[in-house]
Amino acid sequence: MQSKDGIDMNNFKIGVVGAGSWGTALANLLASKGFAIDLWVFEKEVINQIVEFGENQYFLPDIKLSSNLKPHHDLAEVVSGKDLLLVVVPSHVMRETTLIMTSHVSKEAIIATASKGIENKTHLTMTGVLKETLPQIPAEHLAVISGPSFAREVAQNLPTVVTAASKSLEIATLVQQVLATPYFRVYTSADVMGVELGGSLKNVIAIAAGVIDGLHLGLNTRAALITRGMTEIRRLGVKLGANPRTFTGLAGYGDLILTCTGDLSRNHTVGKKIGEGQNVKDILGEMRMVAEGVKTAKSVYNLSRELGVDMPISHEMYRILYEDLDPKEAVYRLMTRDLKQELDEE
């Protein structure tokens, strides 16, 4: 059987690594499209849930999963012999997970990551990590998927639009065609760095937006926070060679607005609880799913200082998360900085 894009769905082999809410939603999208999907699941309880109930009750409850989706605990079994691997694990375990994959992945495979984050120690994006852990894969075979896309809404077949980026237009187009459905539209991009940074850094700003809402500071404040937050994201992106136009698109403003305002945003939820006076460690201890912005805040703080990039909102978020700065004090510090013109010279 072939899709309307000419892909042989019977012989094109796909594995999805990571069965959190986003990994499960993407795996189910592909399975519902007709592909036979092998899904690597870390938690054996989740495998049992999928097999017995046809649901991932931990991370994507009340969503019935396609019978074309098969869960596995053996990572080697999932990644061996695949044409496309979609890696959707939390950013802080990307390195250790993909190192296990190294000896099992074909050098002809296409690796697409939908994980969003910047590694703490190396300050590498996820494709940067993959280049080190899967050295047999050409850089042109790496791709990134990002954009405004809450997993639950994708799983409910609500219209969603994202970007697939790769240095190779051929690879970006293939990923686009594999993923696209009437309710999941995919655009292509050549700006891998910009798409990755937009998807990662927006999580830090989303925590800040949540803090604003938790403090009941109003819609004016939140709108300003989102706008100036994007200024910071663009600054770092330009410094690292990204196309500034990327940040006006789906992986930029699109994802930022969603994550800063949507009730399904884990990062916004964390920030809101902080603004309401809860302790960061207690908040994170109660969460089963990962709020990527917490770890990314540390990476952004250190990387921006190393590169000399002005990112005041991100720096205040780091101090709230890691130095116990009072959120009200952080807002005061931001509002009383030296006055300046709005637009950067670059």
Query: Rounded to an integer, what distance in angstroms lies between the CA atom of residue 235 and that of residue 240?
Result: 9
* Alpha carbon distance 64, 57 (integer Å): 10
Tally of helices (H runs) and strands (E runs) in the chain: 15, 8
37/27 Cα distance (integer angstroms): 7
Chain-centroid distance of CA 221 in Å reads 25
Task: Record the tokens describing residue 285, joined without a space.
Answer: 């201890």
For residue 339, what are its two tokens?
A: 């006055």
The yes-or-no answer on residue 4 being catalytic is no
Q: What is d(CA 183, CA 9) in angstroms, rounded to the nearest whole number?
A: 19
8 Å CB contact between 179 and 200: no
Q: Please give the Cα distance from 155 to 176 (Å, whole number).
A: 18
Determine which one of 202, 273, 295, 298 is catalytic.
Answer: 202
Residues with a catalytic annotation lie at 202
